[in-house]
Homo-oligomer: A and B are copies of this chain.
Amino acid sequence: MLFSHDEYQEYQSRIAKVKKSMEEKGIEVLLVTNPSNMNYLTGYDGWSFYVDQMVAVIIDEDEPLWIGRYQDANGAKATVWLDHNNIIPYPDEYVQSQTRHPMDFIADFLTQIGQAKRKIGVELESYYFTALAYERLKAKLPDATFKDGSLLVNYVRIIKSEMEIDYMKKAATIVEKAMQTAVNSIHVGARQCDAIASIYYDLITGTSEYGGDYPAIVPLMPTGENTSAPHLTWSDQPFKDNDMVIIEIAGCFKRYHAPLARTVSLGKPSEKVTDLSKVVVEGLNHALDAVKPGNTCEDIEAAWRKVISKHGIEKEARLGYSMGLSYPPDWGEHTASIRKGDKTILKPNMTFHLIPALWFENYGIEISESFRVTDQGVEVLTNYTRELIVKGDFDFEEPVIS
- CB-CB under 8 A for A197 and B205, given A78-B232, A214-B218: yes
A239 to chain B, nearest CB (A): 13
Determine if A259 is an interface residue (Cβ-Cβ < 8 Å). no
Closest to A315 in B: B92
- Assembled-state Cα–Cα distance A49/B135 (Å): 22
B47→A231 contact, CB < 8 A: yes
Q: Once bound together, how far apart are the Cα atoms of A206 and B192, in whole Å?
A: 11
Q: Mark contacts of A305-324 with chain B using CB atoms, 8 A cut-off: 1 yes-contact digit, 0 otherwise.
A: 00000000000111001000
Q: Give Cα distance in the complex from A231 to B130, angstroms.
A: 21
CB distance from A94 to the nearest CB of B (A): 11
Q: How far is the CA of A337 from the CA of B334 in the complex (A)?
A: 34
B125 pairs with A130, CB closer than 8 A: yes
Least CB distance, A369 to chain B, in whole angstroms: 19
Residues on the B chain within 8 Å of A45, using CB: 232-233
Question: In the complex, what distance in Å separates the CA atom of A79 from the CA atom of B50?
Answer: 26
Residues of B within 8 A of A330 (CB): 50
B233 near A213 with CB under 8 A, answer: yes
A66-105: CB near B (< 8 Å → 1, else 0) gives 0000111011011100000000000111011100000000
Judged by a CB distance under 8 angstroms, whether A150 is at the interface is yes
Q: Mark the stretch among A222-230, A283-291, A379-387 that contacts chain B.
A: A222-230
A156 within 8 A of B: no
A334–B218 CA distance with the chains assembled, in angstroms: 23
Decide if A352 is an interface residue (CB 8 Å cutoff). no
Partner of A204, one of B197, B328, B334: B197
- Find chain B residues with CB under 8 A from A125 CB: 130-133
Tell me which residues across on chain B come within 8 A of A226, comparing CB atoms: 74-75, 78
Binary B-proximity of A115-135 (CB < 8 A = 1, otherwise 0): 000000010111111111111
A233 touches B130 (CB 8 A): no
State whether A193 touches B212 (Cβ < 8 A): yes
A74 touching B200 by the CB < 8 A rule? no
For A206, the closest partner residue in chain B by CB is B193
Indicate whether A191 reaches chain B with its CB closer than 8 angstroms: yes
CA–CA, A133 and B234, complex, Å? 30
Q: How far is the CA of A93 from the CA of B339 in the complex (A)?
A: 9
Q: Is A302 an interface residue (CB 8 A)?
A: no
Q: Quick check: is A148 within 8 A (CB to CB) of the other chain?
A: yes
Residues from chain B with Cβ under 8 Å of A194 in the complex? 205, 211
A75 touches B232 (CB 8 A): yes
Q: Are B214 and A70 in contact (CB under 8 A)?
A: no
Q: Do A127 and B124 touch across chains, with their CB atoms under 8 A apart?
A: no
Contact present for A46 and B229 (CB under 8 Å): yes
A303 interfacial by beta-carbon distance below 8 Å? no
Complex CA–CA separation, A198 to B123 (angstroms) = 37
A359 within 8 A of B: yes
Q: Does A110 contact B (CB under 8 A)?
A: no
B217-A47 in contact (CB<8A):
yes
Residue A332 is within 8 A (CB to CB) of chain B in the complex:
yes
* Neighbour of A229 across the interface among B72, B129, B198, CB < 8 A: B72
Chain B nearest CB: distance from A359 CB in Å? 6
Known: A50-B217, A96-B332, A193-B204. 11 other contacts (CB 8 A): A46-B233, A47-B233, A95-B317, A125-B131, A125-B132, A125-B133, A131-B134, A132-B148, A200-B200, A328-B328, A328-B329
| Residues of A participating in the B interface, judged by any CB pair closer than 8 Å | 45-50, 70-72, 74-75, 77-79, 91-93, 95-97, 122, 124-135, 148, 150, 191-194, 196-198, 200-206, 210-214, 217-218, 220, 222, 225-226, 228-236, 316-318, 321, 328-330, 332, 334, 337, 339, 341, 359, 361
